[in-house]
Chain A
Amino acid sequence: MATKYDWPSAADRSVIGSRFARLDGPDKATGRAKYAYDRNPEGLLVGRLVTSPHANARITKIDASGAEKMKGVRGVVLIQDIGDEVQWVGAEIAAIAADTEEIARDAVTKFKVEYEVLTHLVKEQDLDKAGNRVAPGQEKDEGDPAKALAEADVTHEGFYGVETITHCCLEPHGNTVHWKGEKDITVWASTQAVGRIGADLAKNLSADPSLPKVSPSDIHVITPVMGGGFGSKFNIDSWGIAAAKLSRMTGRPVKIMLDRDEELKVAGGRPSYYGKVKVGAKKDGTLTVFDVESWSTSGVGRGGNPALPYVVVPPNQRIRHVNVATNTGPARAWRAPRHPQCAVITHGALTDLAAKLDIDPIEFFKKNADLTQSPDVYRTELDKAAELIDWKAKYHKPGEGSGHMRRGLGVSIHTWGGRPHDSECRVIIEPDGAVSAELGSQDLGSGTRTVIAMVLAESVGLPVSRVNVKIGDSKYPPSGASGGSTTVGGVSSSTRRAAVNAVEKLKANVAEDLGASSPDEIEAKGGFLQLKSNPKKRIEWAKACRKLGTETISEMGSQPDRDGGKLADSGVGGVQVADVSVDMETGIIKMNKMVAVQDCGLIIDLKLAESQVYGAMIMGICSALWEERVYDQMTGDYLNADMEFYKLAGVGDIGELVVHMMTGVYDDRGVIGLGEPPAISPMAAISNAVFNAIGARVSTVPLTPDRVLAALDKKGGMA
């Protein structure tokens, strides 16, 4: 049913769907943008953490005196106490605030902790060595998998895995906190959840009876920009609570940002996934059965259910998943939790099965598109991706080729929800013509601020340069946390509704002047309020606003709004194909080209949407080729908690990237989130391209040279 809030039709859009440069771009590109790490309020103290050197230990003694008596040390708070267990290297034990960073670092070395060291497990790759650390997880049966495997024309068995990777946000986790009065706390937070940090901090502080009681509304959270989260920055965390306590103790603002090694050890972690897979198909390529015994670690805690089989779901399935508790940094959500890993396991097995069937993998996925939720979407996108990478000309059977450089193509498909989160927006129109939208949302670098401005501008009929967006502050109306690709739908909907409501008020104010019997006869377009039936009868925006006199229009818009129509949706598909070259002598993989075809409903800013996809592909290249958290079972230590040995791609490592957004096709669905979907397929597509290049399956991602050479050895060398 049509409502007044509906998105304008393609012909009526002047801003939405265009390529608009991000609004905070100039501040970021000149270093003016102030992140939590950049806040230096008057009297600032710098805090550092004391952390555990052991993977599993009980604290037997704490002696803070050496640190406390140092000149310049202003406060010490314990995060763990005597008798507590620390269950991974890097676990936070105490925080120290000092006049300077140098003094705080020195003080950490004077803070003495003694431990009773306990046994640890930090590696889960070999399930047989996990012993009593294994806990049952999902068990699922559909159809008759045993019978289906027995009756399949062709079957394949293989092992596929993805190592744990860590978020490595460039702005580490942390906050600058100033507890000024009993009920007056300011938190400059590096967070994905401006609206959640206050409640999280208040709840944690209330656990300490020595502190005054504070409510979430006593806590002012400020995050105009933040330096990367990717799913890992939703909570205040122990270091944020410690900063607040230290600020209370000293009366001064306290900044605690994690060191790089701490960031990698305790503030990130995407669970590993490993699976022993059996698949079967009919001769014509129809997939009939998927059987997997899988395992995963999320640290000492329990992980969720795997998303297996991924996207392509045959009628017969057997899923046996277990979780392994390891003494490693706890898992945090990562773009599209579980999906990227499960894409590797599923689409790796399906690509290997297609090879046995002697069917081109693109044809195999098209053939089995009926086993997905959106057969037509995937068929169309598979064709488009194949076209853009010149699949037909370049594809060869796995392992075909000669010489030491071998080229190959691989494909993966993915899905994600991306429903809109709850969001409230206030749009204010002032007598001087100023228009602003206020939302307690945040811009993670995804372009939220710019998208809101574009929706507002479109809805009030002004250029983007004439509207203001105020976000990243908890004093604005609440908006959901930015996770799960839920932000763009949420804020676009609430902004649209608030803007339409506000403009309606303005229309009512000028209806008489324009000779309109009702505001519905008026439209806001091109900087004017004008009669729909006779656009020449119009009044300039600023002049219309002047008629407000001393009144200010302030209107709210909400997502969800049961009576407000449907402005956002969930559920997208995407296809990615990769073209790689593999050096058979060194095992080094080079990216030649990668293509992403992605739908996400109505796109607000095409430029920023493409940036999201490019970014996801590049992150995916990092995790496909290099990223892995490496622990040492002997010591329990995390060996590569730095950026030399925790490797990320550089500007020369990515090859040619092509993004094709399915614009125009799904506009009627409304706005759908884009943060997760394109981050899912890169590892699987690249892994499958390497299989195609060398004719051997490199079972575990990242596809490091040693693993490539081992796979070649197993296959019998270069032949």
Chain B
Amino acid sequence: MSSKKPTENPQDTQQPNGFSRRTFIQGVGVGSGAAGALLTPSEAEAALGDVVGPGAVSMTLKINGRNHTLEAEPRVTLLDALRNRLDMTGAKKVCDRATCGACTVMVDGEAVYACTMLAIEAQGREIRTIEGLSANDPVPRSFVKNDAQQCGFCTPGFVMACQSFLEHNPNPSQADVEAGLSGNICRCGTYVGVRMAALDAAKEVKGERRGY
């Protein structure tokens, strides 16, 4: 029922592991709840072959160019997989519901809130995390130089959001930066530095190859 070809709606794209958001919802929906009500019994039956879990399953995530295999329940978010299974603790857990951006990573070249993507959904995709950047890369270096951080807990998310933003917007104005980084929240109040860091880093990120 799901096409092997990419569709217009990326949410319906079949993933290499045979899992898609559509089949997940169907699996969850069988027999109960609002989602279940949307399915005919035959549709639900057809979906059963794709159901994984609820126990831990093995999955492989390609992070910063390297494959990592882990065991986790299908309900585990990409953020929890990174932090709790792989000890990649750069992405932070703050709001855990796609408000604050502290968990920002890049998936297939786009900034993503890792708290709101299931780890199992991220299989077969190019995941880039803060661990893939070094202090000599333009964005982290500009954050340090412009003191775009205080306690630093929002910083890795901000750096990744900024990295993604600049890869898509090589010549931003301050207004562009303010719109482009509006999905991240800092509590210490480092936005003056963040604005300067983003504009500063833009000069260096420009022309860099996208992705790995």
Contacts and interface: CB of A to CB of B under 8 A. Distances in A.
A168 interface: yes
A628 to B, nearest CB: 16
A228 interface: yes
A29 B183 CA distance: 18
Contact of A26 (B91, B97, B140, B192): B140
A101 B149 contact: no
A168 B95 CA distance: 10
Contacts of B177: 651
Interface stretch (B3-11, B16-24, B31-39, B154-162): B154-162
26 contacts: A22-B147, A26-B140, A27-B135, A29-B144, A30-B90, A30-B130, A30-B133, A30-B134, A35-B92, A37-B92, A170-B100, A227-B151, A230-B187, A260-B94, A260-B96, A445-B151, A611-B150, A614-B193, A615-B188, A615-B189, A618-B191, A642-B97, A643-B97, A643-B185, A651-B186, A652-B178
A446 B150 contact: yes
A284 interface: no
B144 A22 contact: yes
Interface in B156-205: 156, 159, 175, 177-179, 181-195
A383 interface: no
Interface string B119-158: 0000000000111011100011101110111111111100
A30 B147 contact: no
Interface string A447-469: 10000000000000000000000
A401 to B, nearest CB: 25
A21 B141 CA distance: 11
B67 interface: no
Contacts of B194: 651
B168 to A, nearest CB: 17
Nearest to B194: A651
A652 B144 CA distance: 21
A657 B100 CA distance: 23
Contact of B195 (A35, A100, A651): A651
A617 interface: yes
B187 A26 contact: no
Interface in B49-87: 73, 75-76, 80, 83-84, 87
Interface of A: 21-22, 24-35, 37-38, 40, 46, 100-102, 168-172, 225-228, 230, 257, 259-260, 444-447, 607-608, 611, 614-619, 622, 642-644, 648-652, 654, 657
Given A31-B131, A652-B178, A22 B149 contact: yes
Contacts of B94: 170-172, 260, 643
Contact of B89 (A38, A616, A643): A38
Nearest to A228: B151
A679 to B, nearest CB: 9
B99 A644 contact: yes
A40 B187 contact: no
B92 to A, nearest CB: 7
A75 B189 CA distance: 39
A26 B144 contact: yes
B155 A29 contact: yes
A18 to B, nearest CB: 13
B102 interface: yes
Contacts of A227: 92, 151-153
Contacts of A21: 144-145, 147
A25 B191 contact: no
Contacts of A25: 143-144, 147, 149
A225 B151 contact: yes
A212 to B, nearest CB: 30
A31 B75 CA distance: 25
B161 to A, nearest CB: 10
Contacts of A622: 189
A446 B190 CA distance: 11
B151 A444 contact: yes
A31 B92 CA distance: 9
B149 A29 contact: yes
Contact of A31 (B95, B129, B192): B129
Given A31-B131, A37-B92, A37-B93, A228 B144 contact: no
B147 A644 contact: no
Contacts, number: 184
B79 to A, nearest CB: 11
Nearest to A31: B90
Contacts of A100: 84
Contacts of A46: 84
B73 A102 contact: yes
Contacts of A27: 135
Nearest to B73: A102
A599 B124 CA distance: 56
A648 B189 CA distance: 10
Contact of A29 (B73, B97, B159, B178): B159
Contact of B91 (A31, A34, A259, A643): A31
Nearest to A652: B178
A42 B93 CA distance: 20
A28 B89 CA distance: 11
A26 B135 CA distance: 5
Contacts of B91: 31
A260 B145 CA distance: 31
A30 B96 contact: no
Given A25-B144, A260-B94, A654-B191, 11 more contacts: A29-B141, A31-B130, A34-B89, A37-B93, A171-B151, A228-B151, A444-B151, A611-B193, A614-B189, A615-B189, A652-B178
B152 A225 contact: yes
Given A611-B150, A642-B99, A168 B144 contact: no
B190 A171 contact: no
Contacts of B184: 650-651
Contact of B147 (A228, A230, A608): A608
Given A26-B144, A168-B187, A651-B178, A614 B153 contact: no
A170 B153 contact: yes
Contacts of A649: 189, 191
Contacts of A29: 135, 139-141, 143-144, 148-149, 152, 155-156, 159
Contacts of B150: 228, 444-447, 611, 615
Most buried by B among A34, A445, A619, A654: A445
Nearest to A447: B150
Contacts of B73: 102
B59 to A, nearest CB: 15
Given A28-B152, A611-B150, A650-B185, A102 B76 contact: yes
A169 B194 CA distance: 19
